[in-house]
A and B are shown apart, each in its own frame.
Chain A
């Protein structure tokens, strides 16, 4: 019998704890595949966030640390500097990375730490019950913005790729989405590139993955993807924001 699809060696057999239709599982799989394809299973370690993806430390089949909320880039900095021969990534949501962890991500990027950061942006706090995040769109209703986010009061959603692109040190910054099979293939390329640059010790790499949260948005998975295409993509523009390897500054 011929094997045409199997679980990457870089994933454990632990069942994912994500809601049906959530795109976290896809992101996790893409990262695992990239690590396997780059032959890094024995030299990779990661940092799990606080939030829906906290159990990332159970899913990836190598050493994983859990960081306090938002502190994954700081923990990853320590891991990389303490084990320079290893390759380190963080997996973080927008509540983790763009709210409580804003200082950590900005300074890790500014120092040009040799780590990869995978940033799952679904414009909401998922695990804690659908509260407004810094990435929540203007007018978007959440449990803590029941009349819709009012930028006059709360400010505008933070665009992390654009913000980090203002720094000199980062080597690679790209925003992709997980909203269609084509998008997922493009996301896979971006994730692969980040892991490849990580392997080559090029510097700080950052991939933002526009994702959905059907449970807290109150849509079924199909509607959630359509909603994200119509509402998130015009504000969170996909593309390469920095790629020093390809001359994109």
Chain B
């Protein structure tokens, strides 16, 4: 979603340098090829969906061209057009990351949605929301943390994190009525991000939570989880 409003009708133009490029009827390889554009012809790039570019020929034919074919085009100055792909380089220099994890929260099934912002490749902050559903109670957690990534250049990149948050515990309805309670908690975390392909990351993680209860003892909770993330 980025274009200057007043430049709405102007699009990036490139020149086909391959003998021809194929135009599909939709943004996936499964859609049929219905048109080819020959070398030397100029095309306008209208929009992009995943790895596919919607282009328009001079005669007004519109269709979808794959990223790999767009790499074989020239700018109007005759230079190679640069349509950057998402590779491990992007993983190393990612700014935003959003992911989903599932795991075991001291016996309860947990689901986590998180978003991270990288200040530098080695330091990031993260906010996460989790729900852990056990046999006797259900917990909602919100946490913020700071993470250190000492080896950002590695494909399997470990991290350490420290964070704080709140936990809301509500007992299951079938039990004797007890009141909901809210406590603060802190956690230390160790885990690793593994770059898979394109924009995908696999994350494995262990968390050790310290729940500061209003009772005499503080509670310790362990969580193991795994999940997928995409980065931008």
Do the two chains bind? no
Q: Which residues of B contact A (CB under 8 A)?
A: none
